Structure 1
């Protein structure tokens, strides 16, 4: 498939709405708080999980799909917000999420004739090709009183005799990666074991108490006043072709350790982690790639932004199972000249490490200065900003629906912004997978520079 072509659509076999069990599901309403509000108008988050499952279409429709629907119903009993909606009142009062009996999740069952092995490789593939497997969130409903935002859409796509792909699209304001990955793994557990007992035993059941989140600085009010002044922005439909290729780069545990050792030798005592050095290497290699095709002044600021989980760092800490968003905004900054120079990698690692120390390990607490985060983020619009989607902490290759581990994880979300995806490696213990979606020329140049830089270690 060339980049000028429209992606081949999957054939929709069924569209349905899956509700939690009416005999167990009660209404649930919780406020959208300051941790959720910065993501209110963020683009939907999309994840794809591919599984080897060489089954026929009749077996898929008659055996696998009914079981998946039943296990989804059981799982939603514990994840009611995902079957509900986010409500934005148009008069007074802040936004909230609400599940009411009868609410449901949109599920699409589809069939694709695309090459399963091609899509699940690490080599460059046309980014457009993946959207046949990506579900679309239903549009928001507008009334004179409020705006109602659906929060989750699901799709299961069969590649006959080869495998299946699970597509997840969620509204970011309903929950961060920790919450959504917990749901994905919970559904996998229920489908694999046929009941929710292990889900409960493994402590995958979410925690919904918003009163546990203290707000002494009045962040809820500060953030909502900013949101109210913003116009409602619904994500426009994706326009094809994207003119990008998607490629996965794997960095092994030994390579990560060599990167750490290199930085420690140059900058002893700095905050160096696998995340820090991997992000620094990708950031610098991308800038070196751009330097070959465009002219950027050496004093031009370069930013690297990413979220950090706050759950265990609040006072008092929240349970790991807290459902919603609970993220701090971390921003590293340097200049183009320093980062593309000979010591660019060390400089990048140092900047990212210092940003983590400044925010995550702040002596005054991780929320120190949080009242300014929305404005700080707003100032980065139009700037040279690169970021990260995902984290090595969330191992989606652990999600076993009964057919073994996924063959491949992909993050279509990175097609629409300047970010990379990052997750644990499927095949290398202690390794990491980096996903990039870039124009063909840029991706090819990046691959060469990235390989060259790792080879110098």
Structure 2
């Protein structure tokens, strides 16, 4: 278990803006009632508790403060109106004196067990997740903290950094920029390197200007009217999860083999990427594992696969790559259960996902078509059978190097939720490979592992 050493508040350095308000776009409002994003980064870095407390922790605190100079809204709060009967919308606001919560802990858990790929008890990972500070009320708003951080030492073995992040503030691209910036400032001992990089590369520091998001239909108002009567939730960990977590590696050779199998059956198919074949294979194995674990499903029941899509470069006009906020749409495939569990399940899944990417996701005229209906579509989808995706190989969180090298392992705790999701990222151990993370009941995980391995051996 983890022993807390301290929980402190880290403010930006003095001398910055006294106040900053950032409105929410329709991309942000849709995430207001979703659970926070929890991610863990495990670093293989043996050090003593004394060195950690006396040297590393002060360095991490100082570098975090300097990072917040460039990311002021993270130090602030989401202001959620108490009176939702008018059209006033939530806003992110920073005022001088605001700060971010940082927890420092030490753990006697087995580091090597935690970073393994085999099935492990999912509950144990929550020892390394910080609690969000409590929501506070002022006369007109609920003040909701948007991020909390925890750094945990495994003496003589490694370090874990966890962030808990309110999804309405930003997407994976946004939080990756923040974590890389914190890591860079920590590694170099200051932000001089960051400023120099900014001069040569305009995408180095974040843009919070919401005017880059065009909303001629007033979708932000449509979304706010649809959800403003819902009470703002207080999130807690889903313990006990009754799940195990495991990681499955698709090596580069496996991915090439899967592409060959798909293209041999569908030679004219476009967009047969590593993402397409990896997710298609996992989706088909996942649905088959339900049957193997005793699940009974009608053969004509629809199975859905949903994945997030960064649309910064996909909409017209495009949004700068360094825009901090949510700028994501989604892709979707749906297939009858009997077809997905059949011999051609992989090919059928790959065709459905690839066609959606070609016809809608990569089409600037289609990628946001019907966006005004997203909130109502979410409500309608509550009863469907779905596998989602958290993360993307495009956003390499493990590359956030604090001076300890690449993270040895990343874990996405958000996939422990009620609906099933897979995590997907670059493999840390296999060049050109991908890591797939799953959180499932043990019986189903055993079934999935057997189907996953058998499929690669026989393909």
Q: For residues 143-181 of structure 1, give each alpha carbon's deviation from its aligned partner in whole angstroms, at most 9, with x where no partner exists.
A: 441122100000000111111100110000000000001
Deviation at 1:25? 4.0
User: Of the candidates 58, 66, 69, which is equivalent to residue 66 of structure 1?
Assistant: 58
Aligned: 1:22 with 2:23: no
Deviation at 1:239? 4.6
Q: For residues 204-248 of structure 1, give each alpha carbon's deviation from its aligned partner in whole angstroms, at most 9, with x where no partner exists.
A: 31011111111112211111111214333332x225332211111
Aligned: 1:246 with 2:245: yes
Aligned equivalents of 1:127 and 1:160: distance in 2? 22
Deviation at 1:116? 0.7
Aligned equivalents of 1:238 and 1:188: distance in 2? 27
Aligned equivalents of 1:372 and 1:251: distance in 2? 36
Aligned equivalents of 1:319 and 1:343: distance in 2? 40
TM-score (norm 1): 0.95
Aligned: 1:192 with 2:187: yes
User: Which residue does the alignment assign to 2:48?
Assistant: 56
Find the residue that maps to 1:380 and give its secondary structure. helix
Find the residue that maps to 1:139 and give its secondary structure. coil
User: Which residue does the alignment assign to 2:389?
Assistant: 388
Deviation at 1:450? 0.3
Find the residue that maps to 1:447 and give its secondary structure. helix
User: Which residue does the alignment assign to 2:426?
Assistant: 424
Q: For residues 279-302 of structure 1, give each alpha carbon's deviation from its aligned partner in whole angstroms, at most 9, with x where no partner exists.
A: 111111011110121110011111
Find the residue that maps to 2:12 and give its secondary structure. coil
Structure 2 residue ranges without an equivalent (≥5): none
User: Which residue does the alignment assign to 1:181?
Assistant: 176
Deviation at 1:63? 0.5
TM-score (norm 2): 0.95
Give me the CA root mean square deviation. 1.4
State how many pairs are aligned.
448
CA contact (8 A) 2:77 2:94 kept: yes
Deviation at 1:267? 1.4
More displaced 10-residue stretch of structure 1: 347-356 or 55-64? 347-356
CA contact (8 A) 1:50 1:409 kept: yes
User: Which residue does the alignment assign to 1:4?
Assistant: none
Structure 1 residue ranges without an equivalent (≥5): 1-7
CA contact (8 A) 1:306 1:387 kept: yes
User: Which residue does the alignment assign to 1:275?
Assistant: 275
Find the residue that maps to 2:313 and give its secondary structure. helix
Aligned: 1:134 with 2:129: yes
- In structure 2, the CA distance between the partners of 1:100 and 1:77, relative to structure 1 (3 Å rule), is same
User: Which residue does the alignment assign to 1:165?
Assistant: 160
Aligned equivalents of 2:338 and 2:139: distance in 1? 52
For 1:361-440, list aligned pairs within 5 A.
361-362=362-363, 364-416=365-417, 417-440=419-442
Deviation at 1:12? 0.6
Deviation at 1:446? 0.4
User: Which residue does the alignment assign to 1:320?
Assistant: 321
Deviation at 1:43? 0.5
Aligned equivalents of 2:277 and 2:115: distance in 1? 26
Find the residue that maps to 1:302 and give its secondary structure. strand
- In structure 2, the CA distance between the partners of 1:265 and 1:90, relative to structure 1 (3 Å rule), is same
CA contact (8 A) 1:314 1:365 kept: no
Aligned equivalents of 1:198 and 1:433: distance in 2? 31
Find the residue that maps to 2:153 and give its secondary structure. strand
Find the residue that maps to 1:190 and give its secondary structure. helix
Find the residue that maps to 2:39 and give its secondary structure. strand
Aligned equivalents of 1:233 and 1:268: distance in 2? 48
Aligned: 1:108 with 2:106: no
User: Which residue does the alignment assign to 1:454?
Assistant: 456
Find the residue that maps to 2:325 and give its secondary structure. coil
Q: For residues 61-113 of structure 1, give each alpha carbon's deviation from its aligned partner in whole angstroms, at most 9, with x where no partner exists.
A: 10110000000000011011111111112333111111111111100000101
More displaced 10-residue stretch of structure 1: 444-453 or 372-381? 372-381
More displaced 10-residue stretch of structure 1: 64-73 or 395-404? 395-404
